[in-house]
Amino acid sequence: ETGVTQSPTHLIKTRGQQVTLRCSSQSGHNTVSWYQQALGQGPQFIFQYYREEENGRGNFPPRFSGLQFPNYSSELNVNALELDDSALYLCASSPWPPNEQFFGPGTRLTVL
Amino acid sequence: KQEVTQIPAALSVPEGENLVLNCSFTDSAIYNLQWFRQDPGKGLTSLLLIQSSQREQTSGRLNASLDKSSGRSTLYIAASQPGDSATYLCAAPGSSNTGKLIFGQGTTLQVKP
């Protein structure tokens, strides 16, 4: 059984650029959630995808958007990058309804 | 609105000690609570999931308890080892059945040989 995978591992961008992060859910899981974790903080919920639709969103601006594909993998897109977007981005998958969630290794985004 | 707090923020203990990490939450209408381990710069590893109908859950040297009425959960680590050094996070659902997790800021544990 393959766990949650994320790509890329690390990414460096400059202010104003756009970035796409990718997540493959664990086998059998149809729900994907994205979290942002700033240094020294707990993860913050960005949004969740179920059946290719956004199913709940945290306190993040519209420049954070996402997609879920028929194979349940997901993308997180961030436009107009700001310095404060520098963080570890975590993806979690679960069956529906969500109970225990399983996290990927994360993507470290640095915005210069 | 669910809020999760973890105390202490950091803890340093000698190897072999038993220790307790604390987690408190404001909305007791939770259906589960999850404890995670995070090594520096890495993702989250699920340690224990306690359903609302349970009071305790055990895995090896780890034991997690849940008291919904007082809004508290504890993670007990027995006979700590240097390999237990990591940040421990607890997370409670933000609302029923949507899977949004609200995390505490974590307790960073250092176990000294």
pLDDT tens for A22-37 read 999 999 899 999 999 9
> Which two tokens mark B51?
């359903």
Of B32, B36, B101, which is closest to A45 when you measure between CB atoms? Answer: B101
Count of pairs with CB atoms under 8 A, one residue in A, one in B: 70
Between CA B12 and CA B15 the distance in angstroms is: 10
pLDDT at B86: 98
Q: Write down the pLDDT at residue A22.
A: 98
Are A55 and A32 in contact, with CB atoms under 8 Å apart?
Answer: no
Please name the residue of chain A whose CA is at the shortest distance from the CA of residue B44: A103
pLDDT value at A1 more than 80: no
CB contact under 8 A, A101 and B46: yes
Whether residue A112 is predicted with pLDDT greater than 70 in this model: the reply is: yes
Interchain CB contact of A8 with B (< 8 Å): no
Q: Closest chain A residue to B33 measured between Cα atoms?
A: A100
- What is residue B1's predicted lDDT score, i.e. its pLDDT? 86
How confident is residue A2, by pLDDT bands cut at 50, 70 and 90?
confident
pLDDT digits (tens, 9 = 90+) for B14-49: 999 999 999 999 988 888 999 999 999 899 999 999
Residue B28: per-residue pLDDT: 87
Q: Do B97 and A104 touch (CB under 8 A)?
A: no
How far is residue A78's CA from residue A90's CA, in Å, rounded to a whole number?
A: 14
> In this structure, what token pair is assigned to residue A3?
């766990």
The reply to whether residue A104 touches residue B46, judged by beta carbons under 8 angstroms, is no
* Pairing of β B19-25 and β B72-77: antiparallel
- The pLDDT tens digits for A40-99 are 999 999 999 999 999 999 999 999 999 999 999 999 999 999 999 999 999 999 998 888
B94 touches chain A (CB under 8 A): yes
**pLDDT at position A54:** 92
Contact list, B31 vs chain A (CB under 8 Å): 99
* pLDDT exceeds 90 at position B96: no
**pLDDT bucket at B97, cuts 50 / 70 / 90:** low
DSSP state string for B31-94: SEEEEEEE-TT--EEEEEEEETT-SEEEETTEEEEEETTTTEEEEEE-S--GGG-EEEEEEEES
